[in-house]
Chains A and B, each alone.
Chain A
Amino acid sequence: MNTTGARIGCGAGFAADRIEPAVDLVERGRLNAIALECLGERTVSLAALRRLADPGGGFDPMLAKRVRPLLEPLARTGTRLVTNAGAANPLAAARMVRGLGADSGVRTSVAAVVGDDVLDRLDLSAPAWEDGRPLREHGEIVSANAYIGVDAILPALETGAGVVITGRAADPSLFLAPLMHELGWDPADRDRMAAGTLIGHLLECAGQVTGGYFADPGPKPVPGLARLGYPLAEVGADGTAVITKLPGTGGRVDRMTVVEQLTYEVTDPHAYLTPDVALDMTGVGVTDLGGDRVGVGGARGRARPERLKVSVGYRAGFRGEGEISYAGRGALERARLAADVVRERLSGALPRLRVDIAGLNSLHGDALAEGGEPYECRLRVAGLAGDLATAEIVGEEVSALYTSGPAGGGGVRAAATEVIGVLSSTVAREQVHTEVVVMDDTDDREEQGA
């Protein structure tokens, strides 16, 4: 246990994030732990489908690419790795990482946290948060994963494992657990739980707190955005922290970047709910210390939710899309004519159809799309259908604009894919049984513990 403080970094904010900044953080950050957040709401459902097709798959396909350059510096610096990249199959992910260690001669103990998959226990009559209708009315359900928290992750850290791989753990819990482990925080200390959750929330999107997703040349410049460094927190035993980044990296950490991330995806700042605590951020102080250092503190915690949130994936049909561009004099009028033609040709073929002109109104609609005519614009047509063949008609009709649409169209792209919808509901805590499986490379046994 460390009573003076801990250092924790974030090396990925989503499944497709960049890899190099994580290596830099482990090499130079003097970290106790680094977390990689790789699991969006939809990602775990898509992973569950891949696991159905291949029982050895279903974890983040980028995991090997991400972990391979990290294993040696992790072992050399004594930094521990926590990641939810196990997605729908943390056990297979852990086995793969252990194999990577063996191949590269790095001795690493890997622990998998399993048990977030509650598909066989899901109450299908429970209402979906999104529309209040019972889950079963939305279509064939393919996955159900409960958001697990520090209760599940701490036992894995206590085994001494260098790498801990989870499935659907709540994002801030990936940070709170190693902080608790390092600083000896008591789970009954709600303000410490809230402080660690706040730190996790600020770090979890990686580059978003260091100037990523922030730059607007002029009012919001970000130096060296191409070399954006990822964040780390210097955490005191009392839960106060400094958010910062490594010297020499691009980006910026100041009051503006931290407040944008503080408010990100927050639906109730009085009670930001995780499996571990209800974080009240209305008393949080953000102090710009200069030099890419921002102090945060003042998080308050209340009792954690009684039930766990569960993310439910269901088959929602097939999305068909087609795009074509027009440029030069009259481009907008030709795109509008093309839109009318496609709409007429697809009339009644799909239950839902959307036609936009990218460069004009595809993001915010017509009301805000005032001003001059763009030099070039791109027609975009998207539809949702019950079967793949019908969804493909959208792209086929957009492609047909080449020879039977307005003049000068170019650059057609067409695609059709299955849509996995995601709904949220809750599950009783006692329905969720997590356990830790340790894979130690000193022998071939897999030890199982509660």
Chain B
Amino acid sequence: MKVRLYDIAHARAGDKGNLNTIALIPYDPAWYPALCAAVTPRRVAEHLSDRVSGEVVRHRLDNVHALIFVCPRAGDDTVTTSLHLDTHGKSLGSALLELTIETAGPADGTAGSR
């Protein structure tokens, strides 16, 4: 099945210098394994290629069923010197939620999202 992340998860973006962090959190923890399988660092880097360059690093927080993506920003785009309208990149969580994944679905077989 194809699922848009927005329909099963929420996100929050943060910033550190020339990095953005984006947390991805499923509404239902049953979706966590599917997110771990489908939302790879490479997939995120491709999806956010307008704003992100270089290697995206992914951390798993299995204890709270959350993924953290650490995304290097392109070139000289730091929070303080950025020419973007959203200098902090705080809207990138919404960009990540636009990603559509191909997945077998939640671990418990239900279609439940939120």
**B85 is an interface residue with CB less than 8 A from chain A:** yes
Residues of B within 8 A of A284 (CB): 63-64
Determine whether the beta carbon of A259 is less than 8 Å from that of B59.
Answer: no
Given contacts A384-B83, A419-B81, A421-B81, contact A267 B21 (CB under 8 A): yes
Determine whether the beta carbon of B83 is less than 8 Å from that of A352.
Answer: yes
Interface of B is mostly: loop
**A429 is an interface residue with CB less than 8 A from chain B:** no
Q: Mark B5-33, 1 if CB is under 8 A from A, else 0.
A: 01000101011111101010101000000
Determine whether the beta carbon of B80 is less than 8 Å from that of A263.
Answer: no
The residue from B6, B25, B50, B114 contacting A263, defined by CB atoms under 8 A apart = B25
Q: Mark A413-424, 1 if CB is under 8 A from B, else 0.
A: 000000111111
**A380 is an interface residue with CB less than 8 A from chain B:** yes
The residue from A216, A261, A282 contacting B63, defined by CB atoms under 8 A apart = A282
**B44 is an interface residue with CB less than 8 A from chain A:** no
Given contacts A41-B17, A269-B61, A364-B51, contact A263 B79 (CB under 8 A): no
**A365 is an interface residue with CB less than 8 A from chain B:** yes
Nearest opposing residue in chain B for A128, CB measure: B17
Give bound CA distance, A419 to B87, whole Å. 12
Stretch at the interface among A229-237, A355-363, A395-403: A355-363
Residues of A within 8 A of B76 (CB): 352
The residue from A216, A268, A422 contacting B59, defined by CB atoms under 8 A apart = A268
Give bound CA distance, A42 to B51, whole Å. 21
**B84 is an interface residue with CB less than 8 A from chain A:** yes
Determine whether the beta carbon of A424 is less than 8 Å from that of B68.
Answer: no
Residues of A within 8 A of B81 (CB): 316-317, 384, 419, 421
Residues of B within 8 A of A386 (CB): none
Number of interchain pairs (Cβ within 8 Å): 136
**B40 is an interface residue with CB less than 8 A from chain A:** no
The residue from B18, B23, B79, B84 contacting A42, defined by CB atoms under 8 A apart = B79
Nearest opposing residue in chain A for B23, CB measure: A263
Determine whether the beta carbon of A420 is less than 8 Å from that of B80.
Answer: yes
The residue from B18, B23, B80, B86 contacting A419, defined by CB atoms under 8 A apart = B80
Determine whether the beta carbon of B61 is less than 8 Å from that of A363.
Answer: no
Give bound CA distance, A282 to B16, whole Å. 20
Residues of A within 8 A of B6 (CB): 219
Determine whether the beta carbon of A363 is less than 8 Å from that of B86.
Answer: yes
Determine whether the beta carbon of A256 is less than 8 Å from that of B12.
Answer: no
Determine whether the beta carbon of A266 is less than 8 Å from that of B14.
Answer: yes
Determine whether the beta carbon of A263 is less than 8 Å from that of B63.
Answer: no
Nearest opposing residue in chain B for A208, CB measure: B12
The residue from A285, A354, A364 contacting B91, defined by CB atoms under 8 A apart = A364
Residues of A within 8 A of B70 (CB): 267-268
Determine whether the beta carbon of B16 is less than 8 Å from that of A363.
Answer: no
Residues of B within 8 A of A353 (CB): 83
**A436 is an interface residue with CB less than 8 A from chain B:** no
Give bound CA distance, A259 to B67, whole Å. 11
Give bound CA distance, A196 to B81, whole Å. 33
Determine whether the beta carbon of A319 is less than 8 Å from that of B80.
Answer: no
CB distance from B78 to the nearest CB of A (A): 6
Give bound CA distance, A131 to B59, whole Å. 22
The residue from B50, B63, B64, B83 contacting A319, defined by CB atoms under 8 A apart = B83
Nearest opposing residue in chain B for A313, CB measure: B80
CB distance from B7 to the nearest CB of A (A): 8
12 contacts between A and B (CB under 8 A): A130-B78, A219-B6, A220-B10, A260-B10, A260-B25, A266-B68, A269-B59, A282-B62, A284-B63, A316-B80, A362-B85, A364-B92
| Nearest 10 pairs of A and B residues by beta carbon | A365-B50, A265-B14, A263-B23, A354-B83, A382-B83, A260-B12, A364-B95, A362-B85, A422-B80, A264-B14
